[in-house]
Amino acid sequence: MPGTFHHRQEQLRRAAEQQLKDRLLPPWQKRVLQRLSVEAANGWYPLLNQFAPRTPAQRPDAVLVGPQGVLVVLLRETEPDWTDSRAAFVWVSELLAGATIGPAMLSEAVVRAVVVHPMGHTGHLGEDEEHTAITEDQLDPVLRNGERLLSADEARSVAEHLDSRTFDLAPMMWSARRIPLPRGQDAETAELFDPHEQRLRSALQRPFRDWRIFLDGTQLGAVRRSYSGPARITGPAGTGKSVIALHRLAYLARRTTGKLLFTSHQSTVPSVAAQQFRQLAPHLGNRVEFVHLHAWARDFLAGRGRLAEVDDREVEAAFESVWQRAELSAPLRGFRNSRGYWKDEVDRVIKGRAIRSFEAYRSVPRKGRGRPLPPDFRSHVWQFYCEYERELSERGVFDHNDVLMRALAELERRPLPRQYAAVVVDEVQDLTLAGLRLAHEISGDAPDQLLLVGDGQQQVYAGGWRLSEAGIELAGRGEILRCNYRNRTAVLDRAGQVEAINRFDDLDGGPSVPLDAALPQLPGGRVVEWHGTDQESALLEALRGLDDDSATAVLTSTNASAEHWENVLRSAGVPARPLDRWDGRTTGPVLVGTLFRAKGTEFRNVFLPGEPDTASAFREDREAQLRRRLVAMTRARDYLWIGAPHG
């Protein structure tokens, strides 16, 4: 019937006017609240603070729950203190902590604070770290624009959850049912939303977004838990470790002052994480530094007036010069004729552990390095290392390990003038021991200062260590995740067949969960294992046959192979882009890069072309190849193509 909707709005406005008539609110505040009440006709559920107009400074005057999430509304004549708007946000977030949807819980990513001023306010307007400031005539964009975060049923359930958690807030213009909780069960565990299956269907309809809105109970617990010292999150691929790290950064940023740091060994991991964090908590983007550890060390040293730039070509030339000296390399070749193996020995064992003397190297454990080196033979390795150091010195250069060790020494000499509020280290298993010590020195051991995130099955670099060697004691602090939310069942089952041996003791002797023991949450999926002679044509045909080719990647073992496949795609008219130039945004071109660069990423479709057989007779090499293959496979959500050319 024409006019029915507007008639309903007028009814709501008049009812709100009647409800508010006995409250001694300023006229402009009554206008705003009446305006908010009308939104009940548009899928919003307004709740009014029962203390208004004497609302405490650190509480909201109203809360709205609707399509664009949860709005924490403060009605203020003047700009509020930032601590007040932050406290109001935190208060509502704490009330939402138990809102569940099947096995998942609502995250505070749906919450934002809005400060409403009277018309004509001349102070600061717009968005800042703590809230969005508007005048009363600017409500429409806030209520209409922006991404839809909650369905109608979800919004209703969230509003009812808030009503059930506190008597400070009461519904305006809608009828809440205060849900009785079973005896012995509090609102933290009450289930108010849809069944599990509906939650999963919803997640599949909203790809690469739902992780911001919902977490399962274990994940949310890790986000909100207070740890008395360094803590860790571990679990197989796809269980949400990095997602938790981002949510925890946002959670801590809302409850602390100062900067926070997200770092990792790989340069691509922080850049992708930064983009995801901007989606999760756009107002907090300036609070968190996203930088890989070597870049942090370089910038830190430069800030202290010390040179820290690494010339990779000169470093490689220095190593090659020493390797070509037969008197130095012959003993090493006789033991194992592999230049890469001995480069890893220098980078990951000697310098990676910041070993300063031959006596220390003689007895150092070489976890994950395969066949033991007799103590007497190690003198040959040490001589080779010393000549490499001399070559670097003569060329006037230093390598990445030198940068880490110099930064560590400088920090020990003169600590940071202001400590980070928290430090998150992602893909921690790929750090060297020296890198881990630096991260520990940056963070310290105070409560909630250091969070280590990693999975030993996804280690892609040589070597290994124990956390205790870096002076880090976990004392049981942390979480082990088991539910896989990234990979569809077919992809997860195939990746679980890869026997990736854990060479990273992230729990210092504690249990770990292999990928084949992860609990799949997303049904379906497709895995294609191709065998034949013309792999290029087969891969292109499969790529063109995809129903949806967005978020697609071709992953390889080497840079040379990545360059080859990028050329193949472009020659065939398929837009392609190097993975190492991707910052995590959704992109049209197919991304091509090494599995090393793929750490911390996920894609709808992944292609793993077969490469020349590099099978090694050495067990540790085979184990490393399997771990890397597992990493590549678990980047795929819906579709995995595995090539095996022959002939």
CB 37, CB 12: distance < 8 Å: yes
Confirm whether residue 303 is marked as ligand binding.
no
CB 283, CB 446: distance < 8 Å: no
Secondary structure (DSSP) of 416-478: -SS--SEEEEESGGGS-HHHHHHHHHHH-SSTT-EEEEE-GGG--SS---BGGGGT---TT-E
The tally of CA atoms less than 13 A away on the side-chain side of residue 611 is: 18
Confirm whether residue 241 is marked as ligand binding.
yes
The tally of CA atoms less than 13 A away on the side-chain side of residue 56 is: 9
Confirm whether residue 83 is marked as ligand binding.
no
Rounded CA-CA distance 208/558 in Å is: 28
Q: Helix H segments across 281-373?
A: 293-303, 312-323, 326-335, 339-344, 358-363
Structure tokens at 120: 């004509």
Q: What are phi and psi of 569, to 5 degrees?
A: -65, -45
Confirm whether residue 282 is marked as ligand binding.
no
Say whether 609 sits in a helix, a strand or coil: coil
Confirm whether residue 600 is marked as ligand binding.
no
Rounded CA-CA distance 18/564 in Å is: 72
Rounded CA-CA distance 118/121 in Å is: 6
Rounded CA-CA distance 136/248 in Å is: 33
Q: Which residues pair with 643 in a beta bridge?
A: 530
CB atoms near residue 108 (< 10 Å) = 24
CB 79, CB 99: distance < 8 Å: no
Confirm whether residue 56 is marked as ligand binding.
no
Q: Which residues pair with 555 in a beta bridge?
A: 593
Q: Which residues pair with 556 in a beta bridge?
A: 594
Confirm whether residue 238 is marked as ligand binding.
yes
Confirm whether residue 235 is marked as ligand binding.
yes
Q: What are phi and psi of 169, to 5 degrees?
A: -110, 135
Annotated binding site: 235-242
Positions at the binding site for ATP: 235-242
